[in-house]
Structures are given as C-alpha cells and as structure tokens.
Amino acid sequence: MALRNTHHRWGVLSQTFHWLIVALLILQVTLASLADDLPPGARKLGLLARHKSVGITILMLVILRLLWRSLNLTPLLPTTLKPYERVLARWTHGLLYALLFAMPLSGWMMSSARGFPVSWFGFFTLPDLVPRNKSLYEALITTHETLAWVLAVVVMLHVAAALKHHFMLRDDVLRRMLPFTAPTQGPKT
Ligand code: HEM
Ligand code: HEM
C-alpha cells in the first residue's frame, strides 16, 4: 500500500494518523474517567499526569497530520453524494479537527490557570499558556468537559456516517481508510 494518498485511497501515513489518534482518544477518556473516580491523592495525580501527556501527544499528532494532509492529495468523495452531504462531510471533518485542537489546548490552559505545569511524560515541561487564576480555571474545567461531550456527539455522527457508507450506500469511503483492504474503485493501490 502506498505511503501517500491518492484520489481513491488514504495512504499508510494518513491512515496511521487517523487510527492512532482514535486509539489515543479512547485511552485519554479512560484515563480521565479513572482519575475522576479516585479521591485526591498521588494515584489520581499520576493518572492525570498521564492524561495530560497523552493529550499533548494528540495535539502534536494533529499538527503533523494536517501538515501531511497539506502535502498530499485528498481522496475524492463519491460522485453519488448530494451537495448538502458533501458540505456536511466537510463541516464534520473540520469540526473534528477543531475539537482535536480545542480539547488539548483547553486542558493545557486549565492546568496553567490552576498553577500546575504540564510535563510531557517527564521529558520536558511546557510553558504556561495563561497566568494562574482561580475563576479562569473553573471556567476552563467547564469548557474542557463541554468540549468532551461535543466531541463525543460529533464522533458518533461521524461513525454513523462511515457505517452508512459501508453498509447502506456500499461505497469505498470506509474501505479506503482501512488497512489491508483493496478499494473497489480506482487503481488497486
Ligand atoms: C484530545 C485531548 C483530550 C481529551 C479528549 C480530554 C478529555 C477529558 C475528559 C473526558 C475529562 C473528564 C471531564 C470530567 O471530569 O467529566 C478530562 C479531564 C481533565 N483533563 Fe482532559 N482531555 C484532553 C486533553 C487534556 C490535556 C492536554 C490536558 C492538560 C495538559 C488535560 C487536562 C485535564 C484535567 C486536569 C482534567 C481533570 C479536570 C478536573 O479536575 O475535573 N486534558 N479530560
Ligand atoms: C474517535 C474519533 C475519531 C476522530 C476524531 C476522527 C476524525 C476524522 C477526521 C478529522 C477525518 C477527516 C480526514 C481528512 O479529511 O483529513 C476522518 C476521516 C474518516 N474517518 Fe474518522 N475519526 C474518528 C473515528 C472514526 C471511526 C471509529 C471510524 C469508522 C467507523 C472512522 C471512519 C473514518 C473514515 C472512513 C474517514 C474517511 C472519510 C473520507 O474518505 O472522506 N473514523 N476521521
């Protein structure tokens, strides 16, 4: 399978970015909910430190993913899609990218406002994004939590659309994002 995208298929690198970020998001939500169930203490702080590092990793991966996307072709949407469906697909993907930035940035700002520096797996410490401020911290907790719910809803719509393409419309949209599958349209790369 080719490294780069074609008009008919996502390349290995784009697929890797997509599925790696999906896996890290699952890990991220698991770490947050495990930490949420614990009383204040070292174990909770340890889980949250990991949550922060994984969140910053997602931010770095999204930047690299968009950079790679800008250097590549983007697979064309099936010609059978109606104009409003194209707009919906573009907006949903745009919103997902925006949320993949907003989630880690709101978390990072939240930690700075609380006065906790953000370290990336202990390798380096990131600068504070905002000064220490209690009311800003409280507003950012609500923002981070609300954004997580918005992300969950948009992801559900996105997954529903992918499954509809595969099982009802029976086109290549899901297959071309999956490894080890041959597209039924375009060259078999
Ligand atoms: C894509 C990235 C991220 C996702 C999906 C995510 C998701 C979540 C979720 C679902 C929660 C639980 C909210 C609740 O209590 O109901 C949470 C909590 C939290 N997140 Fe994130 N997060 C991300 C990135 C980050 C980053 C980068 C940081 C900091 C650098 C961060 C810091 C925190 C903190 C400190 C909490 C606990 C807040 C509290 O005290 O209740 N998050 N996050
Ligand atoms: C869990 C979080 C997920 C996020 C944040 C996410 C994000 C994205 C984004 C931003 C794109 C647009 C790619 C681009 O145009 O550059 C995309 C494409 C895609 N995603 Fe997801 N995705 C997620 C989960 C899933 C799941 C679970 C599935 C499968 C059931 C899926 C199937 C697809 C497919 C098939 C495409 C390609 C659409 C096309 O070729 O036009 N995604 N995803």
Return left, alpha or beta for 186; rule: phi > 0 is left, psi -120 to 50 is alpha, else beta.
left
Q: Give this prediction's pTM.
A: 0.95
Strand partners, 95: none
Q: If you average pLDDT over residues 128-134, what whole number do you get?
A: 97
Q: What is the pLDDT of residues 27-45, one digit of tens each?
A: 999 999 999 999 999 999 9
Question: What confidence score (pLDDT) does residue 182 get?
Answer: 72
- How many Å apart are CA 22 and CA 58, to the nearest integer? 10
Q: If you average pLDDT over residues 106-124, what whole number do you get?
A: 97
Decide: 65 in ligand 2 pocket, CB within 6 A: no
Nearest ligand, measured from the Cα of 125: 1
Residue pair 158/92 in contact (Cβ under 8 Å)? The answer is yes
- How many Å apart are CA 134 and CA 129, to the nearest integer? 14
Q: Percentage of the chain surpassing pLDDT 70?
A: 96
pLDDT above 80 (res 189): no
pLDDT classification of 186: cutoffs 50, 70, 90: low
Among protein residues, the one whose CA lies closest to atom 25 of ligand 2: 159
Pick the CATH number of 12-177 from 1.25.40, 1.10.760, 1.20.950, 2.60.120: 1.20.950
Q: Which of 9, 13, 18 to mutate to test the pocket of ligand 2 (most atoms within 8 A of CB)?
A: 18
Question: What confidence score (pLDDT) does residue 181 get?
Answer: 77
Lowest mean pLDDT among 47-56, 91-100, 101-110, 163-172: 163-172
Q: Taking the CA of residue 53 as centre, how many other CA atoms within 13 Å lie in the half-sphere pointing to its CB?
A: 13
Decide: 113 in ligand 2 pocket, CB within 6 A: no
Two tokens at 55?
A: 């969140």
Question: What confidence score (pLDDT) does residue 185 get?
Answer: 63
